[in-house]
Amino acid sequence: MTRRVAAIDCGTNSIRLLIADLEPGLTELAREMRIVRLGEGVDRTGRLSAAALTRTMTALREYAGLIAEAKPEAVRMVATSATRDAANSAEFTERVIEVLGVPPEVISGDEEAQLSFAGATRELAGTPLAGEAQCPPPYLVTDIGGGSTEFVLGRHGQIGRAASVNIGCVRLTERHLHGDPPLATQVRAATGDIDAALGQVAATVDVRQARTLIGLAGSVTTVAAIALRLDRYLPERIHHARVPAAQVHEVTVRLLGMTRAERAAIPGMHPGRVDVIGAGALILDRLMAALGFAEVLVSEHDILDGIAWSLVSAPRNRTSTAG
């Protein structure tokens, strides 16, 4: 039986909406993304700023209108790293309820990783990519966000160990990459943070078991678009593209050597990623090198799809209409 759902992912850098009909597969009706930078300054202040909250609520009102038109059976909004870290997350929750009619769920890093894994891998079963020669399990799914990066190891429908570490493209840019372009000393400092976090991951998740690395979220898809030399952002070309580690490194070096204006001129570059894409690329580059992956399988399907599927598998008390 088909079920219409709406999923919202509110991260450190962006807020995204998916409205879809589910069962037997996922039929996408709307997929929207707005860069609102909710986590701007949270690493330094520990609070969500008034300006960031205003930007986020403006986007959320737009989404609430789309949800009201679509009339889904269930709505789930998930908030991740920036909201986990903020002392005034209760204010965020109150404002979301006013706009959307349902509260956001501030989830743990482990649950974030599991939803990302489900969103990225559910569609692989029954496709040519699921074969041993194409995309062999176990998979290591990595979701590079604005404030944190999640790692989860598993197979189809079977999730193993997960880890969430506080390295993300917004956090590292605000903490280290202040130059235009960043200075070599700044890049080294960011690299040190990344490598230390990857050490934590390796202590928690046996990454040596993984045979396929699947990369998610805007930093990864943007790096893929640059590596593919696309003249504009084309999700259908990016989804399930394979990018070798050498190309990831080449793109990373280029991005970190560019000025902001030069990055903004890259075809397909979203304006909201211009200032943070260098840090996002550096995370991907370092994790591939440190964890020993020769290529990354890029997925346009991620935590947003996982949130949607969660409304079928475990709807709990999320059924509502947006107000």
CATH topology of domain 3-108+305-313: Nucleotidyltransferase; domain 5 (3.30.420)
Tell me the pLDDT tens digit for each residue of 298-318: 999 989 999 999 998 654 445
Per-domain residue ranges of the chain: 3-108+305-313, 110-303
| pLDDT at res. 109 | 75
Give dist(CA 259, CA 268) in Å, integer: 17
CATH topology of domain 110-303: Nucleotidyltransferase; domain 5 (3.30.420)
| pLDDT at res. 320 | 44
Question: Is it true that 3-108+305-313 and 110-303 share their CATH fold?
Answer: yes
| pLDDT at res. 322 | 39
Judged by DSSP in three states, 93 sits in: helix
- The count of other CB atoms within 10 Å of the CB of residue 172 is 28
User: In residues, how long is the chain?
Assistant: 323
The tens place of each residue's pLDDT in the chain, 323 residues long, gives 679 999 999 988 899 999 999 977 889 999 999 999 998 888 889 999 999 999 999 999 999 999 999 999 999 999 986 787 788 989 999 999 999 999 999 888 788 888 888 888 887 765 555 544 578 889 999 999 988 999 999 987 678 888 989 999 999 999 999 999 999 999 999 999 999 999 999 999 999 899 999 999 899 999 999 999 999 999 999 999 999 999 999 999 999 999 999 999 999 899 989 999 999 999 999 999 999 999 999 999 989 999 999 998 654 445 444 33
Q: Which of 8, 12, 3 is nearest to 175 (CA)?
A: 12
In terms of C-beta density within 10 A (0-12 exposed, 13-18 middle, 19 or more buried), how is residue 184 classed?
A: exposed
| pLDDT at res. 127 | 53
